[in-house]
Amino acid sequence: MEMPIVIVGGGIMGALSAWMLASAQKPVVLLEQGALGQESSWAGGGIVSPLYPWRYSPAVTALAHWSQHFYPALAGQLLKQTGIDPEVHATGLYWLDLEDEALALDWARRLDYPLQQVDIAQARAAVPALAAGFEHALHMPGLASVRNPRLLKALHAALLQLPNVSLRENCVVSGFIIEDGRVAGVQTAQGDLRAEQVVLAAGAWSGELLKTLGLTLPVQPVKGQMILYQCARDFLPAMVLGKGRYAIPRRDGLVLIGSTLEHAGFDKTPTAEALSSLKASAEELLPALAEAEVVGHWAGLRPGSPEGIPFIGELAEFPGLWLNCGHYRNGLVLAPASCELLKNLLLDEAPVIDANPYAPSGRMHEALPS
């Protein structure tokens, strides 16, 4: 009987990797220390783009570009398979009063992205709720968001339908089984579990697990808080981003406002200070939100990494152990390409994009941004 691929971490990276590997007929065991998809992947906003894509390296852009094209088909397949709609919602995005507008436009011209300068009056006509005082706008039509809690719910349901997937929630992994210099499984609170290969996709917790092997992975938790308003369905027709904060509409009238960036270790307690700051930002962008009800306030822990470039590939020091982690602020954006690339490498397929920028070798000791 073929030994499984064991995946540690049930967020978007672990769940989507499991789905892709299982769809390639591999036996998969997915381990999650809590409930599947309830950490950073649940807590994010779901914009299918980095917030300021021109400020990132080509390595991040390559993953984002592939994923943006893949998301509609992924959502359609999951909806067909499970009846749960991940709601890929193509509203477009308006950036307001950017300091590096010229850089953004140059980036878009070079890469043939449909980012364009628009008159502020045009932005106000498209988004009537927009605050006065903004003077400049860039617009990318067709840019989408995904309703990440529903995406994770759909993936969960899809995995439960696959006969070659075993999903183990509330299963804490404490270390790795090493035999003949390679990783041959994991140690869990429920006992040892042997594997053909092990994939570490534990988000902000990935570095903690690698410490058990004496390795230092430059991935650390970066706290982010968000709030959620209930509005009319037509209140916000497009995503908007100004003064470092963004607003994302859902189809049912919910509007997300995010987010904070805090270095607070593994504490993800929502704070009154962040709530006050986010409400102030919301009202600066969309003044009518002062009269709307806040129906949610939460925090999540992003897996911070140098330049936000994820680690994807096998560890040279410990063959049999693969990484798919360190996506920082862009886990949902980069997940489809990251998980497809991991599958390609693990199954010795032709990679969908150049894998070299994400290889762990030579990058394990990069400095984290302060």
The DSSP secondary structure of 13-61, one letter per residue, reads HHHHHHHHHHHTT--EEEE-SSSTT-SHHHHS--BSS-SSGGGS-HHHH
Q: What is the DSSP letter of 171?
A: -
CA torsion, ordered 71, 76, 77, 80, to nearest 10 deg: 160
* Tokens coding 55: 């400020």
% of the chain with per-residue pLDDT over 70: 99
Q: Is the pLDDT of residue 364 over 90?
A: no
Query: Are residues 329 and 192 located together in one domain of the fold?
Result: yes
Query: Are residues 174 and 188 located together in one domain of the fold?
Result: yes
Query: Are residues 208 and 348 located together in one domain of the fold?
Result: yes
CA Rg, the chain, in Å? 21
Give the residue numbers spanning the domain of 283.
93-141+220-304
d(CA 302, CA 224) in angstroms, rounded, equals: 7
Question: Is residue 233, in this structure, part of any structural domain at all?
Answer: yes
Q: What is the mean pLDDT of residues 143-152?
A: 98
Query: Are residues 236 and 294 located together in one domain of the fold?
Result: yes
Residue ending a domain, among 304, 329, 346, is 304
- Per-residue pLDDT band for 366 (boundaries 50, 70, 90) equals confident
Question: Is residue 42, in this structure, part of any structural domain at all?
Answer: yes
Position 256 scores a pLDDT of: 98
Query: Are residues 310 and 297 located together in one domain of the fold?
Result: no
% of the chain with per-residue pLDDT over 90: 96
Position 31 scores a pLDDT of: 98
d(CA 106, CA 305) in angstroms, rounded, equals: 26
Position 369 scores a pLDDT of: 67
Q: Is the pLDDT of residue 283 over 90?
A: yes
Query: Are residues 229 and 272 located together in one domain of the fold?
Result: yes
Nearest by Cα to 30 from 48, 54, 12: 12
Position 365 scores a pLDDT of: 75
Q: What is the mean pLDDT of residues 326-346?
A: 98
Query: Are residues 114 and 40 located together in one domain of the fold?
Result: no
- Inter-residue contact 205 to 217 (CB < 8 Å): no
Tell me the C-alpha to C-alpha distance, in Å, between residue 235 and each of 46, 311, 327. Answer: 19, 39, 32
Question: Is residue 198, in this structure, part of any structural domain at all?
Answer: yes
Q: What is the mean pLDDT of residues 160-171?
A: 98
Domain count of the fold of the chain:
2
Q: Which residue reads 């070798």 in tokens?
A: 361
* Tokens coding 100: 């590096």
Query: Are residues 193 and 290 located together in one domain of the fold?
Result: no
* Tokens coding 343: 């599958």
Nearest by Cα to 308 from 227, 205, 222: 222
- Per-residue pLDDT band for 337 (boundaries 50, 70, 90) equals very high
Q: Is the pLDDT of residue 182 over 90?
A: yes
pLDDT digits (tens, 9 = 90+) for 289-310: 999 999 999 999 999 999 999 9
Query: Are residues 173 and 228 located together in one domain of the fold?
Result: no
Query: Which CATH number characterizes residue 37's domain?
Result: 3.50.50.60
Question: Is residue 81, in this structure, part of any structural domain at all?
Answer: no
Position 368 scores a pLDDT of: 75
Q: Is the pLDDT of residue 1 over 70?
A: no
Position 359 scores a pLDDT of: 97
Question: Is residue 126, in this structure, part of any structural domain at all?
Answer: yes
Question: Is residue 369, in this structure, part of any structural domain at all?
Answer: no
Position 370 scores a pLDDT of: 59
Query: Which CATH number characterizes residue 229's domain?
Result: 3.30.9.10
Position 142 scores a pLDDT of: 96
Identify residue 180 by its one-letter amino acid code. D
Position 362 scores a pLDDT of: 83
Nearest by Cα to 222 from 308, 333, 296: 308
- Per-residue pLDDT band for 2 (boundaries 50, 70, 90) equals confident
Q: Is the pLDDT of residue 90 over 80?
A: yes
Q: Is the pLDDT of residue 317 over 70?
A: yes
- Inter-residue contact 185 to 174 (CB < 8 Å): no
Q: What is the mean pLDDT of residues 31-36?
A: 97
Query: Are residues 324 and 206 located together in one domain of the fold?
Result: yes
Average confidence score pLDDT of the chain? 97
Query: Are residues 289 and 163 located together in one domain of the fold?
Result: no
Position 87 scores a pLDDT of: 98
Question: Is residue 283, in this structure, part of any structural domain at all?
Answer: yes
Residue ending a domain, among 260, 289, 304, is 304
Question: Is residue 319, in this structure, part of any structural domain at all?
Answer: yes
Position 281 scores a pLDDT of: 97
Using CA of residue 72, residue 303, residue 197, residue 59, what is the dihedral sign?
A: positive
Query: Are residues 231 and 345 located together in one domain of the fold?
Result: no
Tell me the C-alpha to C-alpha distance, in Å, between residue 98 and each of 117, 126, 238, 359. Answer: 11, 19, 17, 33
Specify burial of residue 339 (Cβ count, 10 A radius: 0-12, 13-18, 19+).
buried
